[in-house]
Amino acid sequence: MAYGYDNDYRLTSEAITNDPAGNNGTVSYVYDPVGNRFSMTSTLSGVPGGTFSYVFPLFSYVSIASQSLASPFGSASG
């Protein structure tokens, strides 16, 4: 088994060799510019062949929570 990494220490490949059952091959990963895993390509049996692409939303949505706070002057929220 051998592993490959990029300059940011992200896993870029996994290679299985000399498997007694003959399940040899590689899985390769590609990342987008912000570090999300973008696609996976596999030649291993038991793992779907070809390229699998991950989909991420264009924008991240932030949920704003509101909490009521006790106050001697009534209630406040923030």
Q: Mind listing the pLDDT tens digit for each residue in 23-35?
A: 899 999 998 888 8
24: closest CA among 55, 50, 4, 47? 47
Domain ranges of the chain: 2-56
Could you give the CA distance from residue 25 to residue 35 in angstroms, rounded to a whole number? Answer: 25
How distant, in Å, are the alpha carbons of 14, 34, 60 from that of 2? 6, 25, 35
Tens of pLDDT, residue by residue over 10-55, are 999 999 999 898 889 999 999 888 888 888 888 887 776 677 776 6
Q: How far is CA 33 from the centre of its chain?
A: 13
